[in-house]
């Protein structure tokens, strides 16, 4: 595990190699196992390799981000699960978090330039990411969740999307 520097004490971002044991991801292990099962000959899976039924038990907790720009890095949410809507306080389906493409950058909701840099780093280094933190942007600090961010690639190599699974961390897990 490599940790990118991040300037927010309330939020942790971690980076993992593609071959990291799935047990590393705790309660998010089933999604990591599913993602690994779709890899063929070391290639990254494509979004179209997945079926809705693959996510039984995770409906509402899945998001898919399509990379739509690299300078600056940008994505559009193809899918933003209903539970993510509840947790974050907004629906990103069909939207980019960027409100503008020039500095100073402005973002929707909780997104910051550091978040975009983190995702850009995952794309460029072809790694798995995990974030963990509280919903500080909605004055709901009592809600904590983790995201497991898994790279996808239509050509098997170049990351063009991310599959994200979200897990709400209940108080008894703290």
pLDDT for 13-58, tens place per residue?
A: 999 999 999 999 999 999 999 999 999 999 999 999 999 999 999 9
Write down the pLDDT at residue 36. Answer: 97
Structural domain that includes position 93: 11-173
Whole-number CA gyration radius for the chain: 15
pTM of the shown model: 0.88
**33 part of a folded domain:** yes
**6 part of a folded domain:** no
**156 part of a folded domain:** yes
CATH number at residue 26: 3.30.450.20
**Cβ atoms within 10 Å of 37's Cβ, excluding its own:** 12
Q: Per the structure, how many domains does the chain have?
A: 1
**121 part of a folded domain:** yes
The mean pLDDT values, 10 residues at a time, for the chain of 174 residues are 49 93 97 97 96 95 94 91 85 88 75 88 96 72 85 98 92 52
Question: With contact defined as beta carbons under 8 Å apart, do 171 and 74 qualify?
Answer: no
Query: What DSSP letter does each residue of 13-35 carry, written as one string?
Result: EEEE-TTS-GGGGGGGHHHHHHH
10: which 2 tokens? 């309330």
Alpha-helix residue ranges (DSSP H) falling in 49-112: 82-88
* Distance between CA atoms of residues 28 and 108, nearest Å: 26
Write down the pLDDT at residue 1. Answer: 41
**110 part of a folded domain:** yes
Q: Quick check: helix, strand or coil at residue 13?
A: strand
**3 part of a folded domain:** no
Write down the pLDDT at residue 4. Answer: 46
């Amino acid at each position: 595990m490599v940790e990118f520097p991040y300037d927010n004490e309330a939020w942790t971002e971690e980076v993992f190699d593609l071959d990291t044991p799935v047990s590393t991801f705790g309660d998010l292990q089933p999604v990591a196992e599913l993602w690994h099962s779709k890899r063929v000959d070391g290639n990254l899976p494509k979004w179209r390799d997945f079926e809705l039924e693959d996510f039984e038990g995770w409906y509402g907790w899945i998001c898919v981000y399509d990379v739509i720009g690299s300078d600056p890095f940008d994505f559009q949410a193809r899918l933003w699960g209903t539970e993510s809507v509840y947790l974050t306080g907004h629906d990103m389906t069909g939207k980019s978090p960027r409100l503008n493409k020039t500095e100073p950058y402005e973002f929707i909701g909780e997104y910051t330039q550091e978040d975009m840099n983190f995702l850009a780093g995952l794309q460029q280094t072809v790694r798995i990411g995990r974030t963990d933190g509280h919903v500080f942007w909605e004055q709901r600090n009592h809600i904590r969740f983790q995201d497991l961010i898994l790279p996808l690639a239509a050509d098997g190599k170049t990351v063009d999307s991310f599959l994200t699974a979200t897990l709400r961390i209940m108080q008894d897990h703290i």
